[in-house]
Amino acid sequence: MSPKKDSKIQKEEKSKHLNLVKDILENTQANIRKALELMSNEDIDNDVLLESLTKAKEASEGFVVSNGGQEKIVEGVFNGEKMIGADGEEYNVPANYASKSKLVEGDILKLAISKNGSFIYKQIGPIDRQQLVAMLAKNESTSDWFAMADGKRWRLLTAAVTYFHGQSGDEVVILVPKNSKSAWAAVENIIKKR
């Protein structure tokens, strides 16, 4: 075979692979959204929810790509503190990155792990968000920060509260998923109490 034909075949194979990856991601994202919508309803049909979650797991299972030994790519969902990869593993997301990027529970992330072991995260599928104003509170025994509003409570990353120099009693502007419940919120800003 001539070098031109080899190059053309390689390009076609790469294009097929990228299209397959795109289809897997779109399918996974659709199934995750469906599961989140089901969970936001008061009377959840557990069988339908389980089926949706199983489809999301099957679609994304093994979606870990190695780039010629140079880097490993893993995609997953941000749970408010860590990324749960398609391979089922938990990956620590630096608190400063999560805070600055205002990551919200449910966001889809891509992690590139280089050959030298460095981790590079990128947000590739932000979940629909809503902005709320809440009261900032700290659990003195655990040093955990919370936002509280309308009888609900969300955990906050300490790095985000520290960045804005938050103190208990301040108002905090938070970002939470628009169509689902969450245990965590991202800090948009803090309004200092007078």
pTM: 0.65
Q: Which amino acid is present at 53?
A: L
pLDDT tens-digit map of 21-64: 565 666 667 667 777 776 776 666 666 666 656 655 555 544 55
pLDDT tens digits along 163-179: 999 999 999 999 999 98
- CA nearest 38: which of 189, 170, 180? 180
Rg (the chain; Cα; Å):
20
**Averaged pLDDT score across all residues of the chain:** 81
Query: Tell me: the pLDDT tens digits for 122-181?
Result: 998 888 999 999 999 999 999 999 999 999 999 999 999 999 999 999 999 999 999 888
Quick one: pLDDT at residue 142?
94
- State residue 154's pLDDT score: 97
The counts of H helices and E strands in the chain are: 4, 11
C-alpha distances (whole Å) from 147 to each of 101, 133, 138, 161 are 18, 9, 9, 10
> Which one-letter DSSP state was computed for residue 162?
H
Contact partners, residue 156, CB within 8 Å, separation at least 6: 136, 145, 146, 147, 172, 174, 184, 185, 187
Q: What is the pLDDT of residue 5?
A: 59
- Please give the pLDDT value at position 134: 97
Q: What residue ranges do the domains of the chain occupy? A: 1-60, 129-191
- What six digits make up the tokens of 3? 């070098």
pLDDT value at position 42? 61
Residue 156 tokens read as 């906050």
Task: Estimate to the nearest angstrom the gap between the alpha carbon of 58 and the chain centroid.
Answer: 18
> Which CATH number is 129-191 given?
2.40.50.140
82 is written with which tokens?
A: 């860590």
